[in-house]
Chain A
Amino acid sequence: MVYLTRKAEFSASHYYHNPAFTPEENARIFGKCNNPNGHGHNYTLEVTVKGAVDPKSGFVVDLKQLKDVMSREVLDALDHRFLNKEVPEFFTKIPTTENLAIAIWQRLAPKLNAAQLHRVRVYETPDLFVDFYGEA
């Protein structure tokens, strides 16, 4: 079993708000992130896949295919977007880094047929990242 990781970057804006909370609760729990006009990050995405090394190609996965799936399923949908307003997952869920990692996993997992998705890591800043391994 060999693990292969591909990185990508995207920039997006978001804000944190739960309509079930009062304005005071939203402000207390989410702090500055509750600003309804949004704010942005340069996100770094790391997608790790795993599999046996193919004896013919020497690959775990064709990197070109992985790059294409990441571009089509994730970057095209998220890059330079306002997550709350333009990405369907976040019409109802708060676009925290946790939920972003889960949403990216759910977008990629069904599209990666050759290799098995192992981990999605999303850096919101260099000092904060979330890992999702597909655990329930």
Chain B
Amino acid sequence: MKAHLTRRYMFSASHRLHSDEMSVEENRATYGKCNNPYGHGHNYTIEVTVSGPVDDQTGMVCNLVDLDGFVHSQILERYDHQNLNVLPEFARQVPTTENLCVAIYEIVKRGFRKAHLEKIRIEETMMNSFEYSGE
């Protein structure tokens, strides 16, 4: 039988929302406080949802050790205590949480083979959350 398993992780990072395609005024109007040139930070919570048949032998969709190992080495080590703007994926993209959600989805989709990736959900703050399912 098919089940969906969701695991939550946290990391902290800084970013600045700024687009080179906009004027100074447009950036300020679009991004407000998030356009502060010095940047600012968040405690991000990410939820990784994978699905698959529950294995008869283990009772699991996938072993959490595998999922945790992948997310720690490929996601948390990449983003925790970093400035998102200096990372290559945000060289030409604004590091909004929408774009971060897509970037994390792509990394998990490409690299994690033990279960089917359903969705990445990110809470930027307790008030904002974003989801991407590859649509």
Instruction: Give chain A's interface residues, CB within 8 Å of chain B.
Output: 16, 18, 20-21, 29-31, 93-99, 101-102, 126-133, 135-136
The interface residues of chain B lying within 8 Å CB-to-CB of A18 are 57-58
The A-contacting residues of B in range 34-84, CB under 8 angstroms, are: 49, 54, 57-61, 63-65
> Which of B1, B7, B58, B65 is the one whose CB lies under 8 Å from A102?
B1
| Interface pair A98/B3, CB less than 8 Å apart | yes
Within 8 Å CB of B8, what residues of A? 126-128
Q: List 14 A-B contacts (CB under 8 A).
A: A18-B57, A18-B58, A98-B3, A98-B61, A99-B54, A99-B59, A126-B8, A128-B6, A128-B8, A128-B64, A130-B61, A131-B5, A132-B1, A132-B3
Can you name the residue of chain B whose Cβ is closest to the Cβ of A25? B57
Contact between chains at B59 and A29 (CB < 8 Å): no
Closest to A30 in B: B58
- In the bound complex, residues from chain A placing their C-beta under 8 Å from that of B57 are 18, 20-21
Q: Is the CB of A94 within 8 A of B1?
A: no
* B2 pairs with A97, CB closer than 8 A: no
**Contact residue among A20, A102, A126, A133 (Cβ-Cβ distance under 8 Å from B54):** A102
Interface pair B4/A132, CB less than 8 Å apart:
yes
3 closest pairs, A vs B, by CB?
A94-B59, A96-B59, A131-B4
Instruction: Evaluate whether A135 and B65 lie within 8 angstroms (CB atoms) in the complex, with A96-B60, A102-B54, A127-B7 already known.
Output: no
Take A102-B1, A135-B1, A136-B1 as given contacts and tell me if A29 and B6 are in contact as well, using a CB distance cutoff of 8 Å.
no
Instruction: Check A131 against B1 for contact (C-beta < 8 Å).
Output: no
**Interface core residue of A18, A29, A31, A96 (most chain B CB under 10 Å):** A96
Residues of A within 8 A of B60 (CB): 96, 98
- Please determine whether A129 and B3 come into contact, CB atoms closer than 8 angstroms: no
A130→B3 contact, CB < 8 A: yes
Q: How far is the CA of A102 from the CA of B5 in the complex (A)?
A: 12
Contact at A102–B3, with CB atoms within 8 Å?
A: yes
Known: A29-B63, A31-B65, A126-B8. A131 touches B58 (CB 8 A): no
Nearest-CB residue, chain A, relative to B64 = A128
- Complex Cα gap A48–B1 (Å): 19
User: With A and B bound together, what is the CA distance between A30 and B9 in angstroms?
Assistant: 21
Give me 15 other A-B pairs in contact (C-beta within 8 A), A29-B63, A99-B54, A136-B2 excluded: A98-B3, A99-B59, A101-B3, A102-B1, A102-B3, A102-B54, A126-B8, A128-B64, A129-B5, A130-B5, A131-B4, A131-B5, A133-B2, A135-B1, A135-B3
- Assuming A31-B65, A126-B8, is B3 touching A131 (CB within 8 A)? yes
